[in-house]
Chains A and B, each alone.
Chain A
């Protein structure tokens, strides 16, 4: 059964069956990653371009590894700054790459909606590797996979996203994916970083961690953008850590084990204390490993689906 769309632009509105198909397919690729020979042939002869218009290390490496493990030919570039300042438009860049007969494009872009635009101007399958503050569907899918791996289910769990919801594509995609699969979702962060109308997405809003922490199964802790946020959205990192930092002491008060997730990279002792990040309930490194398997599943399904 193929996916209903030939692109992966976001989880907003994605049918539940499609999400489940990706997660199920990822199980077999996850198994491949434990083999001594980790390469399989299904994308042999396919060419994939990784276009990163914004700095990224782990997402880019994860995609590249997933592509190579599926035996695809891979090319890519990374640039920061807007396409306008570079003098070439996104459309021209994309068309040039497509002229080289590329089958799929994986794109990270600082502008929300850029992958949607791209999917309208080129024929290749487009995979969104994060667009502005809009969506980061592969991150959310690997988060779903990791939650399921840890808890054996997703429906009925309570997942709380902590931190800067306003600027977070990870939060949005997680909300869409988790609610589609029947999880209870809440967000917790300073009022300045909770976007307008978020409760209409079916999430509960908290501003004080201690009000929610006793009821959650999973905390997905978002990264604080140190350079940008301090002073504009909250007074200081010290105050942020005091209010929203996840510490061992805070978790102990909850009185039950809580799974700790983080999309990385971590600011230690800002949003997470080291003993929590490296603690027994942290699945942060499993997220990284599962990310490769989930991306293999997505690439495989799009490459072999309805064209």
Chain B
């Protein structure tokens, strides 16, 4: 990874895909002092201009991963804000939203300030880190956290992710209260009594493996309840890491009704099924768990038909030793920032489920719209916020080359098509290895 100031660089022959300006064409982009100068063909620049030939590379508005666990403060042996930002940049993201299940939890302004300060020092401030605040104090599901204070400090949304907001009354009030600041409530949808002790999807695989299961219905009942509450309150509701066919149907129906309901899916939930757990590899243990082929097919259809708004990684780093235990003892979660583009291009673009234009919407346009962040476009005079990736390039996932502090991935050794090439943001450009 190489970082430099984007002072005077011409990106030659790059394919610009910018859904909001309806642009898909090969041009040169001149980056000048962190801004987009001219966009044209055959740009020369001046004597000091550096010129890089990017034939075959796509330039898109910077990707934003709205579901990342940066682990700092509290779990710096898994990830820090700095290493998380490096992983984001290496994976092609210019922005991330960090989840509040830190220690202390992100449940007041001071933790938000800490994260903002640290992220500005990481990678010369290249990666925008948008904190997501807790819905309840300490994520305990009892008392509403100070959302007004956190929203004013920069919290872009609220969630108790890692745990659901289980109490329906509290969820109702959270939707009402967060609505005053135009912030979505993001739900980790999981009925707790139905999933107690569960470590994988409940189904034929869990029956064979004898592992305690978490039924898909436990996710669906909570989303179903929450959609009713979103309708009743008028609040903005977003489903985190949606994993079941039933949930896709519920969100689709809610959208038809015109409710303010959106959702995200992770690459592992459109790529793997619970068959992967047969290895007892603890890197196939995540929450929500890997589901069945039926669910994966429904998610792909939801991606194709637009029901699913966002691809987010649920990047959840854990140290090597924490995962080197019995499957039932292992923590939930896998890292995702550095494999997301490869998995999405390989599995969605090359299988004809998403065009590159739609892919950019799911990684860049839609998450910003859900979070009410300014649109990012590739236009002359705009700040350069770019993700560059090579859709045709094949590469093999090697966790030892990750920039994340953790390597807990089930995708080691997998050959993917679609490789992050560089990211530019906040006056800095970072070239991937």
A172 adjacent to B203 (CB under 8 Å)? no
Q: Give, as a whole number of angstroms, the nearest-CB distance from B331 to chain A.
A: 11
- Known contacts A112-B211, A114-B326; 13 additional CB pairs below 8 A are A84-B329, A90-B326, A113-B211, A113-B280, A113-B326, A116-B280, A117-B280, A133-B212, A134-B209, A172-B210, A195-B213, A196-B202, A196-B207
Interface flag for B148 (CB, 8 Å) = no
Return chain B residues, CB-CB under 8 Å to A133.
Answer: 210-212
Select from chain A the residue with minimum beta-carbon distance to B212.
Answer: A133
Q: Residue B204 at the A interface, CB < 8 A?
A: yes
Q: List 15 A-B contacts (CB under 8 A).
A: A89-B325, A90-B325, A91-B325, A110-B328, A111-B327, A112-B210, A113-B280, A133-B210, A134-B210, A135-B210, A169-B210, A195-B213, A196-B206, A196-B207, A197-B204
The answer to whether A12 touches B208 (Cβ under 8 A) is yes
* Residues of A in contact with B, size category: 20 to 34
Most chain A CB atoms below 10 A, which of B209, B211, B325, B326: B326
* Ranked 4 nearest A-B pairs via Cβ: A134-B210, A197-B204, A113-B280, A133-B210
Q: Nearest residue in B to A91 (C-beta to C-beta)?
A: B324
Contact of B325 among A83, A135, A169 (CB under 8 A): A83
The answer, among B207, B324, B329, for a CB contact under 8 Å with A195, is: B207
B321 interface residue per 8 A CB criterion: yes
Question: B residues within 8 A CB of A111?
Answer: 326-329
A contact residues around B207 at 8 Å (CB): 195-198, 201
| Residue A82 at the chain B interface, CB threshold 8 Å | yes
User: Which A residue's beta carbon lies closest to that of B326?
Assistant: A111
Chain B residues with CB below 8 A from A169, complex form: 210
- What distance in Å separates the Cβ of B67 from its nearest Cβ neighbour in chain A? 27
Q: Tell me the complex Cα distance, A195–B200, Å.
A: 14
A83 to B326, CA, bound (A): 9
Q: From A116, which residue of chain B is reached at the shortest CB distance?
A: B280
Q: Mark A192-221, 1 if CB is under 8 A from B, else 0.
A: 000111101100000000000000000000
Residues facing B in A93-134 (CB within 8 A) are 109-114, 116-117, 131-134
A83 touches B329 (CB 8 A): yes
Give me the interface of A with B, judged by CB distance under 8 Å.
12, 82-84, 89-91, 109-114, 116-117, 131-135, 169, 172, 195-198, 200-201
State A84–B203 Cα separation when bound (angstroms). Answer: 27
The CA-CA distance from A111 to B329 in the complex, in Å, is 8
Whole-angstrom distance from the CB of B325 to the nearest CB of chain A? Answer: 6
Q: How far is the CA of A91 from the CA of B329 in the complex (A)?
A: 13
Q: Is the CB of A201 within 8 A of B326?
A: no
CB neighbours (8 Å) of B213 from chain A are 195-196
Residue of B nearest to A118 (CB): B326
B327/A172 in contact, CB under 8 A: no
Contact assessment for B326 and A109 in the assembled complex, using a CB-CB cutoff below 8 Å = yes
* Chain A: CB-nearest residue to B213: A196
CA distance A199 to B325 in the complex (A): 31
Q: Are B204 and A200 in contact (CB under 8 A)?
A: yes
Distance between A125 CB and nearest chain B CB, rounded to angstroms: 18
Q: Which of A12, A117, A196 contacts B326 (CB 8 A)?
A: A117
**B324 to chain A: which residues have CB within 8 Å?**
89, 91
Q: Given the complex of chains A and B, what is the CA–CA distance between A90 and B207 in angstroms? A: 24
**Highest count of chain A CB atoms <10 Å: which of B203, B208, B328:** B208
- Contact: B210 with A132, CB < 8 Å? yes
Closest Cβ–Cβ distance, residue A223 to chain B (whole Å): 16
Known: A116-B280, A196-B202. A172 touches B208 (CB 8 A): yes
The residue of chain A having its C-beta at the shortest distance from the C-beta of B215 within the complex is A196
Chain A residues, CB < 8 A from B321: 89
Please, which residues of chain B bring their CB within 8 A of the CB of A197?
A: 203-204, 207
Are A113 and B327 closer than 8 Å at their CB atoms?
yes
By a CB distance below 8 angstroms, the chain A residues around B203 are 196-197
In the bound complex, CA of A112 to CA of B204 (Å): 15
- Interface members, chain B 315-331 (any A CB < 8 Å): 321, 324-329
Name the residue of chain A whose CB is nearest to the CB of B199.
A112
A112 touches B325 (CB 8 A): no
Chain A residues positioned under 8 Å from B326 (CB to CB): 82-83, 90, 109, 111, 113-114, 117
Partner of B208, one of A89, A109, A201: A201
For A196, list chain B residues within 8 Å (CB): 202-204, 206-207, 213, 215
Report B-chain residues with C-beta under 8 Å of the C-beta of A195.
206-207, 213
Contacts of B328 in A (CB 8 A): 110-113, 132
A82 to B280 alpha-carbon distance, docked (Å):
17
Q: Which residue of A lies closest to B201 (CB)?
A: A196
A-chain residues with CB within 8 Å of residue B211 when the two chains form the complex: 112-113, 132-134
Q: What is the bound-complex CA distance between A116 and B212, given in angstroms?
A: 17
Q: Which of A109, A117, A131, A201 has the most CB of B within 10 A?
A: A117
A264 to chain B, nearest CB (A): 19
Give the docked Cα–Cα distance between A94 and B326 (Å).
12
- What mask results when residues 316 to 358 of chain B are scored 1 for a CB within 8 Å of chain A, else 0? 0000010011111100000000000000000000000000000
Bound-state Cα–Cα, A182 to B410, Å: 37
A172→B324 CA distance, assembly (Å): 26
- Set of chain A residues within 8 Å of B325, measured between Cβ atoms: 83-84, 89-91
Report the minimum CB–CB distance from B20 to chain A (whole Å): 45
Q: A89 to B203, alpha carbons, bound, how many Å? A: 29
B182-216 interface bits toward A, Cβ cutoff 8 Å, 1 = contact, 0 = none: 00000000000000000000111011111111010
Per the bound structure, the CA–CA distance linking A132 and B329 in Å amounts to 12
A109 vs B327: C-alpha distance when bound (angstroms): 12
Bound Cα distance A169, B211 (Å)? 10
Task: Name the A residues within 8 Å of B210 (CB-CB).
Answer: 112, 131-135, 169, 172
**Complex formed: what's the CA distance from A303 to B203 in Å?**
37
